[in-house]
Amino acid sequence: MATSLANRASSSNQTLNFLRYSFNLLRNFSTSSNSAPSSAQTPSATTTPSKKSKRRKKKNLFEVAQFLPNWGLGYHLAKSHWTSVSYEITKINLYKDGRHGKAWGIAYKDGSNTCEPNVLLKSK
């Protein structure tokens, strides 16, 4: 009985491996034929105007913190271009629109606390 179960398991593994191989083979053929440009598509692509990519507006502190639990209190937040500098948010006062306000935090540099206890972070 144990040998028949082992034979079934090995045959099902072989079947799955064969199906994976065949699907990967089909996927490779379908992507390689789509990536090669045909002669009919080339002139139409040159006549269409090129579209400029739109730059996405970066979010400010309050737009990021609104999705964090308790409006990000206790979280370390930093701008993407700041290197080794972050602020741990201790207090937030929002204006009516919810996208601007005042925030206080503790400054951290290279993972260690600086001597400034609470720094006011404004967003106008």
The answer to the question of residue 48 being in a domain is no
76: in domain: yes
Per the domain annotation, does 56 fall within a domain?
Answer: no
Distance, CA of 111 to chain centre: 23
Domains of the chain: total? 1
Q: Which residues contact 102 (CB under 8 A, 6 or more apart)?
A: 92, 93, 120, 121, 122, 123
Number of Cβ within 10 Å of residue 40's Cβ equals 7
Residue of 116, 106, 45, 38 whose CA lies nearest to 74: 106
Q: Does residue 98 belong to any structural domain of this protein?
A: yes
pLDDT at 115: 72
Could you tell me if residue 119 is inside a domain? Answer: yes
Structural domain of residue 109, as residue ranges? 61-123
Per-residue pLDDT of the chain (124 residues; tens, 9 = 90+): 666 656 666 666 777 677 666 666 666 665 555 554 555 555 555 555 667 778 888 888 888 888 889 888 998 888 888 888 888 889 998 888 888 889 898 888 888 887 777 777 766 5
Does a structural domain hold residue 4?
Answer: no
Q: What is the pTM of this model?
A: 0.49
Alpha helices (runs of H) in the chain, residue ranges in sequence order: 2-35, 41-47, 61-65
- For residue 75, is it within any domain? yes
94 membership: H or E segment, kind and range: strand 85-94
Q: Is residue 47 a part of any domain in this protein?
A: no
